[in-house]
Chains A and B, each alone.
Chain A
Amino acid sequence: MDASFQPASVEDLRELIKWAAAEATPLEVFGSGSKRTLGRQVQAAHALTLSKLAGVDVYEPAELVMTAKAGTPIADIERLVQENGQELSFEPIDYGRLLGLEPGQGTLGGVLTANLSGPRRIKAGAARDHILGMEAVSGRGEIFNSGGRVVKNVTGYDLPRALCGSWGTLAVASTVTIKVNPASQTSETLVLTNLDDARAVKAMCKAMGSSAEVSGAAHLPNGLNGEGARTYLRLEGFVESVRYRRENLARLLDDFGPVAKVQAEETAKIWRSIKDVEPFWSNSGPVWRISVAPTAGPVLVGALSKLFQLEAFYDWSGGLVWLNCSDGRVHDVDIRRVIGTVGGGHGTLIRADAAQRASTQVFQPQPASLAALSQRLKEQFDPKGILNPGRMGSQTQ
């Protein structure tokens, strides 16, 4: 890497990208670099970091919106909204510890561009559901604005949403506007014990299909600390409401054995562990994040565990499978094939060493026509291919 650019204004950012486009010089784009070991390694002469494009421009709690520079540390934003009794409802994942790095290092732009959504995704939506507008610089070196500062807006294509999950390969966001929500007054967790995977997913789907407004549904076959299978269901809201829903939900799940209850403080701990994939922090194998239909989760894990040694746990009512390949190999071919046989979905290799990432499709490969469409979209934003080339593998070169 020859140089590292840290533009401090959107104009500087534009000039830099304009220059890189003219020279056809690739740039590795990142916020703080907390996810640089995730995905394919970018082959670029220069680095472009957004750490100097930081700070909250406008935060209006009463309007439920915040506008901030893309390089603002996500930890600062979470602290600020918490001080105002609000939250980022999509509960951004912190990959720090899982990837063997310091926790709390990500940026707002990084969270959005990777579409990092935690357990509350199933009730409150993904990171992509919380972006309202953005200012960005395309790979053409042009500043463009899209979306707005209000929740309800259908003026033009939804480019901010399309840029969530693009890993900096389409454009570089300089400023984003997001939706924030009131934090809940209280939370608690109901715990079911010793269910097998399939039965646990049945219980979670039953809970999700009820009017109990469950905001987290996870199953850990070994528990959080090896205590045996635990199925967690989180309830959040006003005290009166949580109490009422807990009673109803416990009745509804009568068939699944005794229901224990965990209070707010412990609840926060449990869901942080699930969100940040704590069960896999201390082991070393490759880690996959797989999204399938909830009932397909245990079928997938059952099929794969016949093929290789693995550890798995479930979030999103069974639809999000965290999988650790205990034998140290990545098993991408088997994993993708089985995803196809259980009804479809996608798997992303989150943790692996550099050699493994270089030789594996880190992101889910796409059918030819979809890959071609994605490629055409990339060219419309970044015709010279200078933004994070190869980051998403051959899916979108």
Chain B
Amino acid sequence: MTAISMPAPDKAILDRRAEITKALQAIVPGEGVIHDETEMRPYETDALTAYRQLPLIVVLPETVEQVSEVLRYCHENEVKVVPRGAGTSLSGGALPVADGVLLSMMKFNQVLDIDFENRAVVVQPGVTNLGITRAVEHEGFYYAPDPSSQIACSIGGNIAENSGGVHCLKYGLTTNNVLGLEMVLITGEVIRLGGKHLDSEGYDLLGLMTGSEGLLGVVTEVTVRILQKPETARALLLGFPTSEDGGRCVAEIIGAGIIPGGMEMMDKPAINAAEDFVNAGYPRDVEALLIVELDGPEAEVNFLMGQVEEIARSNKASHLRVSETEEERMTFWAGRKAAFPAVGRISPDYLCMDGTIPRRELPKVLAGMRQLSEKHGLRVANVFHAGDGNLHPLILYDANKPGELDAAEAFGADILRLCVEVGGVLTGEHGVGIEKRDLMPEMFSEDDLKQQQRVKCAFDSRQLLNPGKVFPVLHRCAELGKMHVHKGKLPFPDIPRF
């Protein structure tokens, strides 16, 4: 097993497995409760496959009432619960715990209401991200956030992780595109937030829920905003002799008031891996490759293509191609979209990291990564959402070689420390989960983390939902609630008053 440890299982709960199974079967009849080891196997991991753990029991409820009763039972009996959507988390967000129920929401797979006039769609949480677009595209609409797992990942999981994607520079993350939620608290209480109207009355619990990684509640219904598809999209493929030139080009595009639909960068190892794999026609004699996609009304896109071309030339672009057809645009993307499997081809295993940095720090961070690569003796390839500074370094390793996973994880941790050091953050879109849990103190002080954990206490005072995720040190809510107060005199007696 690897470096990240999970809380030790509670033996008393393990011993009560048969009784708990029976109680859950009374709530979710038929095949909705899985307790056979072989049948539970598919649930033992998510997309962070280095970590595996069988849950105590798997439950697949079909109604909100069942979700509510399952949670109420678990709360009363102090049984932990790990909610799960499609299981595509890259940070171990859906990793089961041995003494906890794995609550799969994938039977909630219905589109409930499509309201084109109000541009709102109401769906159950197990509907896939792409499923929403499929449901509305006959009228020319789509759902904007597009994580690369969109064919598989569920909208409920998107809420939990506040998923992004290639287009979020222009169209926002999940949090900017969600209008409402129905959720069930661990106590079984059903809460509705928002709806087809905008903004919330009172505290913005909708904003708080989005990106809370399954620690606060279980989502049972989602209302999202849909948009009319852009009239057209065209892309430029740009190559630069140095990453500094590429970075400056990105800054100048944005400085000119242009917000591209997508702006992706790849470094040389990533370019070569992609080119070897799909032959997208990428130049191999450049240090940085930039794909700039402009979308919107045709007149605007055509105008901006010229602007971007000019900016690229003035930043020493040594390679410049403009997509003239839809087919050509797709070819530009083919290499980028295949970057992960392409890297998988040249290495038995890879770790995908997810830090975000201020854009101007790109050359510094890339240089730092090259040094770290030497230090840890492992290769790294970079793909990068250049517009918003979100890096995806892919660390290449071989899990069968003793010590390599540990080295890869140490390398990854060093990269994330570097991101924080230059003013960035640990994760841009993949979530903290278990993967970055122990790095949280690199970015936050103890007081910062305690205040975050107090938020959980308001939702889940027994800390039963998705335990062992996000926070490196668990504190009991009673302990977090204590206040050390010192009575004293009115401070600053001489400060100005009116």
Q: Which residues of A contact B (CB under 8 A)?
A: 3-7, 12, 15-16, 18-19, 21-23, 60-65, 85, 115, 117, 121-122, 125-126, 128-129, 138, 140, 142-146, 148-159, 161-166, 170, 181-185, 202, 205, 208-213, 237-238, 240-241, 243-245, 248, 291-296, 316, 319-320, 343-346, 348, 363-364, 366-367, 369-371, 373-374, 376-381, 383-384, 392, 395-396
Partner pick for A165 among B185, B191, B200, B211, CB 8 A cutoff? B200
Task: Please report the C-alpha to C-alpha distance between residue A85 and residue B258 in the assembled complex, in whole angstroms.
Answer: 12
Q: Select from chain B the residue with minimum beta-carbon distance to A237.
A: B300
A150 neighbours in B (Cβ, 8 Å) = 356-358, 388-389, 423-425, 428
| With contact pairs A144-B447, A344-B197 given, residues A295 and B117 touching in the complex (Cβ less than 8 Å) | yes
Contact A291 B208 (CB under 8 A): no
Q: Select from chain B the residue with minimum beta-carbon distance to A162.
A: B208
Task: Please report the C-alpha to C-alpha distance between residue A374 and residue B19 in the assembled complex, in whole angstroms.
Answer: 35
- Of the candidate stretches B22-30, B36-44, B160-168, the one touching chain A is B160-168
Question: Which among A6, A154, A238 has the highest number of chain B CB atoms within 10 Å?
Answer: A154
List 20 additional contacts besides A12-B492, A62-B360, A377-B205; criterion CB under 8 Å.
A3-B497, A4-B497, A21-B483, A115-B204, A126-B199, A128-B204, A129-B172, A138-B451, A150-B356, A150-B357, A150-B358, A151-B389, A157-B452, A161-B175, A165-B202, A293-B196, A343-B195, A364-B201, A373-B189, A373-B458
B450 neighbours in A (Cβ, 8 Å) = 142, 144
Contact A182 B201 (CB under 8 A): no
A373 neighbours in B (Cβ, 8 Å) = 185, 189, 191, 205, 458-459
Contacts of B276-326 to chain A: CB distance below 8 A: 296-300, 302-304
Q: Select from chain B the residue with minimum beta-carbon distance to A201.
A: B117
A sample of 20 cross-chain residue pairs with beta-carbon separation below 8 angstroms, ordered by A number, consists of A4-B496, A15-B491, A22-B488, A61-B255, A63-B358, A115-B204, A121-B199, A144-B445, A150-B423, A154-B173, A154-B430, A155-B425, A157-B452, A158-B175, A158-B210, A159-B455, A241-B297, A245-B299, A293-B118, A319-B198
A383 neighbours in B (Cβ, 8 Å) = 481, 483
| Cβ of B231 under 8 Å from chain A | yes
Contact A145 B204 (CB under 8 A): no
| Cβ of B454 under 8 Å from chain A | yes
Q: Select from chain B the residue with minimum beta-carbon distance to A150.
A: B356
| Cβ of B263 under 8 Å from chain A | no
Task: Please report the C-alpha to C-alpha distance between residue A5 and residue B299 in the assembled complex, in whole angstroms.
Answer: 55
Partner pick for A164 among B169, B204, B447, CB 8 A cutoff? B204
Q: How far is the CB of A40 from chain B (nearest CB, A)?
A: 13
| Cβ of B443 under 8 Å from chain A | yes
Q: Select from chain A the residue with minimum beta-carbon distance to B207.
A: A161
Task: Please report the C-alpha to C-alpha distance between residue A126 and residue B255 in the assembled complex, in whole angstroms.
Answer: 23
Question: Secondary structure at chain B's binding surface: helix, strand, loop or mixed?
Answer: loop
Partner pick for A154 among B162, B297, B449, B492, CB 8 A cutoff? B162
A142 neighbours in B (Cβ, 8 Å) = 447, 450-451
Task: Please report the C-alpha to C-alpha distance between residue A392 and residue B202 in the assembled complex, in whole angstroms.
Answer: 8
Task: Please report the C-alpha to C-alpha distance between residue A115 and residue B207 in the assembled complex, in whole angstroms.
Answer: 12
Q: How far is the CB of A214 from chain B (nearest CB, A)?
A: 10
Contact A294 B451 (CB under 8 A): no
| Cβ of B401 under 8 Å from chain A | no
Contact A154 B429 (CB under 8 A): yes
Partner pick for A182 among B162, B259, B455, B485, CB 8 A cutoff? B259
Task: Please report the C-alpha to C-alpha distance between residue A377 and residue B403 in the assembled complex, in whole angstroms.
Answer: 44
Contact B448 A369 (CB under 8 A): no
Question: Which among B161, B176, B258 has the highest number of chain A CB atoms within 10 Å?
Answer: B176
Contact A159 B452 (CB under 8 A): yes
Contact B198 A291 (CB under 8 A): yes
Task: Please report the C-alpha to C-alpha distance between residue A181 and residue B254 in the assembled complex, in whole angstroms.
Answer: 9
| With contact pairs A155-B443, A380-B455 given, residues A162 and B432 touching in the complex (Cβ less than 8 Å) | no
Task: Please report the C-alpha to C-alpha distance between residue A164 and residue B176 in the assembled complex, in whole angstroms.
Answer: 14
Q: How many B residues touch the partner, as a band? A: 35 or more
B191 neighbours in A (Cβ, 8 Å) = 367, 369-370, 373
A244 neighbours in B (Cβ, 8 Å) = 297-300
The 5 closest A-B pairs by CB, nearest first: A241-B300, A182-B257, A244-B299, A364-B201, A346-B201
Total CB contacts across the A-B interface at under 8 A: 313
Task: Please report the C-alpha to C-alpha distance between residue A317 and residue B254 in the assembled complex, in whole angstroms.
Answer: 29
Task: Please report the C-alpha to C-alpha distance between residue A374 and residue B487 in the assembled complex, in whole angstroms.
Answer: 28
Contact B161 A154 (CB under 8 A): yes
Contact A295 B118 (CB under 8 A): yes
Q: How far is the CB of B215 from chain A (nearest CB, A)?
A: 8
Q: How far is the CB of A212 from chain B (nearest CB, A)?
A: 8
Partner pick for B457 among A15, A140, A380, CB 8 A cutoff? A380
Q: How far is the CB of B447 from chain A (nearest CB, A)?
A: 5
Q: How far is the CB of B199 from chain A (nearest CB, A)?
A: 6
A392 neighbours in B (Cβ, 8 Å) = 202
Q: Select from chain A the residue with minimum beta-carbon distance to B228.
A: A211
Q: How far is the CB of A376 from chain B (nearest CB, A)?
A: 4
Question: Which among A85, A121, A122, A240 has the highest number of chain B CB atoms within 10 Å?
Answer: A240
B203 neighbours in A (Cβ, 8 Å) = 162, 165-166, 170, 374, 377-378, 396
Partner pick for A291 among B140, B141, B197, CB 8 A cutoff? B197
Question: Which among B190, B445, B450, B491 has the highest number of chain A CB atoms within 10 Å?
Answer: B491
Task: Please report the C-alpha to C-alpha distance between residue A241 and residue B424 in the assembled complex, in whole angstroms.
Answer: 34
B302 neighbours in A (Cβ, 8 Å) = 240
B255 neighbours in A (Cβ, 8 Å) = 61-62
A21 neighbours in B (Cβ, 8 Å) = 483, 485
Task: Please report the C-alpha to C-alpha distance between residue A156 and residue B303 in the assembled complex, in whole angstroms.
Answer: 40
A209 neighbours in B (Cβ, 8 Å) = 116-117, 119, 141, 228
Task: Please report the C-alpha to C-alpha distance between residue A60 and residue B486 in the assembled complex, in whole angstroms.
Answer: 41
Task: Please report the C-alpha to C-alpha distance between residue A155 and residue B390 in the assembled complex, in whole angstroms.
Answer: 13
Contact B300 A210 (CB under 8 A): no
B169 neighbours in A (Cβ, 8 Å) = 151
Q: How far is the CB of A372 from chain B (nearest CB, A)?
A: 8
Task: Please report the C-alpha to C-alpha distance between residue A152 and residue B495 in the assembled complex, in whole angstroms.
Answer: 40
Q: Select from chain B the residue with minimum beta-carbon distance to A142.
A: B447
Contact A292 B297 (CB under 8 A): no
Q: How far is the CB of A343 from chain B (nearest CB, A)?
A: 7
Partner pick for B297 among A85, A151, A248, CB 8 A cutoff? A248
Contact A366 B358 (CB under 8 A): no
Task: Please report the C-alpha to C-alpha distance between residue A392 and residue B205 in the assembled complex, in whole angstroms.
Answer: 15
| With contact pairs A293-B195, A293-B196 given, residues A5 and B492 touching in the complex (Cβ less than 8 Å) | yes
Task: Please report the C-alpha to C-alpha distance between residue A181 and residue B169 in the assembled complex, in whole angstroms.
Answer: 11
Task: Please report the C-alpha to C-alpha distance between residue A243 and residue B299 in the assembled complex, in whole angstroms.
Answer: 9
Contact A364 B202 (CB under 8 A): yes
Q: How far is the CB of B450 from chain A (nearest CB, A)?
A: 8
Partner pick for B254 among A16, A62, A319, CB 8 A cutoff? A62
B192 neighbours in A (Cβ, 8 Å) = 367, 370
Q: How far is the CB of A134 from chain B (nearest CB, A)?
A: 11
Q: Select from chain B the residue with minimum beta-carbon distance to A22.
A: B485
Task: Please report the C-alpha to C-alpha distance between residue A241 and residue B298 in the assembled complex, in whole angstroms.
Answer: 8
Contact B296 A153 (CB under 8 A): no
Task: Please report the C-alpha to C-alpha distance between residue A165 and residue B496 in the assembled complex, in whole angstroms.
Answer: 29
Q: How far is the CB of B197 from chain A (nearest CB, A)?
A: 4
Partner pick for A23 among B117, B198, B487, CB 8 A cutoff? B487
| Cβ of B470 under 8 Å from chain A | yes
1/0 contact string of B204-220 vs chain A (CB within 8 Å):
11011011100000000
Task: Please report the C-alpha to C-alpha distance between residue A380 and residue B428 in the assembled complex, in whole angstroms.
Answer: 27
